[in-house]
């Protein structure tokens, strides 16, 4: 335990002295809502592209089977679409994970602040 001038010093969180430092910050609230909206949007787009991947993969396989009849134009078109859908899925899935990690961090920080504020007011 740290001592300062002969008496024990209680540990406090970094922002324990400021009143409602997180809940009243308008910029934090707006950015949290924007992050939530973007994460939900990217989740929907990632889910739709994930559902489209097997369809275009199957079309590419069947287009490879008829290459001799129709030429390679159909096969290359389906492969380009498949690569595009996979790229969209990868980008939106990464964006979704990033946004949810930011929201998780903010929620954890707020819960810790509320918990330490409660302990500061009621426990000691």
Measured CA to CA, the distance from residue 51 to residue 1 in angstroms comes to 56
pLDDT band at 64 (very low <50, low <70, confident <90, very high): confident
For 112-118, which contacts have Cβ atoms below 8 Å and span 24 or more sequence positions? 112/13, 113/13, 113/15, 113/16, 113/21, 113/22, 116/12, 116/13, 116/16, 117/16
pLDDT at 119: 86
User: What's the start-to-end Cα distance of the chain, in Å?
Assistant: 17
Measured CA to CA, the distance from residue 73 to residue 8 in angstroms comes to 78
The pLDDT tens digits for 70-111 are 778 888 888 999 999 999 999 999 999 998 888 888 889 889
pLDDT over 70 (residue 28)? no
């Amino acid at each position: 335990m740290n001592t300062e001038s002969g008496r024990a010093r209680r540990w406090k969180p970094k922002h324990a002295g400021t009143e409602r430092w997180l809940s009243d910050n308008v910029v934090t609230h707006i950015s949290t809502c924007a992050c939530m909206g973007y994460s939900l949007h990217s989740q929907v787009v990632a889910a739709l592209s994930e559902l489209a991947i097997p369809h275009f993969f199957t079309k590419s396989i069947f287009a490879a089977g008829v290459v001799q009849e129709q030429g390679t134009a159909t096969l290359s078109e389906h492969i380009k679409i498949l690569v595009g859908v996979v790229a969209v899925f990868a980008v939106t899935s990464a964006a979704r994970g990033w946004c949810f990690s930011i929201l998780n961090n903010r929620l954890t920080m707020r819960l810790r602040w509320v918990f330490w504020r409660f302990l500061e007011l009621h426990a000691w």
